[in-house]
Amino acid sequence: MGYSFEIITGPMSCGKTEELLRRIKRCIIAQKKVKVISPEIDTRSKGDYIESRNGLWLDAINVKNARDILSHISSDDEIVAIDEIQFFDMEIVSVVRKLIEHGKRVIASGLDLDFKGEPFGAMPELLCLADKVDKLTAVCMKCGSDHATRTQRLINGFPADKSSPLIMIGGDETYEARCLKCYELPDKLAENKKKSFRLLNFTK
């Protein structure tokens, strides 16, 4: 018997969706019935499908929240593939559990860390629940290292501040992969506090 729940994770541009599509297509070749799910919030694809950066794509059902996934799964579905799973609400954990309990094989892809380098949404629980985890790395877009594990958010070409909204949908112009050495996270609020503190000390 194969894995019941597997996750493909890593930073932006590491090939998560490409690998998800590869596994789905193998299932289709094996004549398994597959249902592909994508969060409605991910608007990068202009239609009901998931798409990798190298142009591969596959029809998908866009859903608004985790619980909606269950309404689209039928008894004869054997495999449920979920792209960008980090965007779903915390109920995604119980939804995945329920799918597994009903004998479905779940294959998911998603970011493990947000742009601040912190665990993304329900990913910690999902990674613990998975019985197979593949953590991919990307090429650092600043130094060329093959070990990029962070997702760098850019605003007008510069690293986004720590206070930037958690979710901001975007492509290569908004995000790039970086290694830990090249990753940057400015904190203007903390910096302003330090400046104010130094100024107060100086005036005394």
CB atoms within 10 A of CB 81: 23
Distance of alpha carbon 102 from alpha carbon 63, whole angstroms: 20
The residues assigned a catalytic role are: 84
> What is the CA angle 6-112-78, rounded to 5?
25
Q: What is the CA radius of gyration of the chain?
A: 19
Distance of alpha carbon 174 from alpha carbon 151, whole angstroms: 10
Query: Residue 168's closest CA among 119, 123, 114?
Result: 114
Residue type, position 165, single letter: P
3-state SS, residue 96: helix
Sign of the Cα pseudo-torsion (17, 19, 22, 23, in order): negative
Contact in structure between 61 and 35 (CB atoms under 8 Å): yes
Distance of alpha carbon 117 from alpha carbon 98, whole angstroms: 30
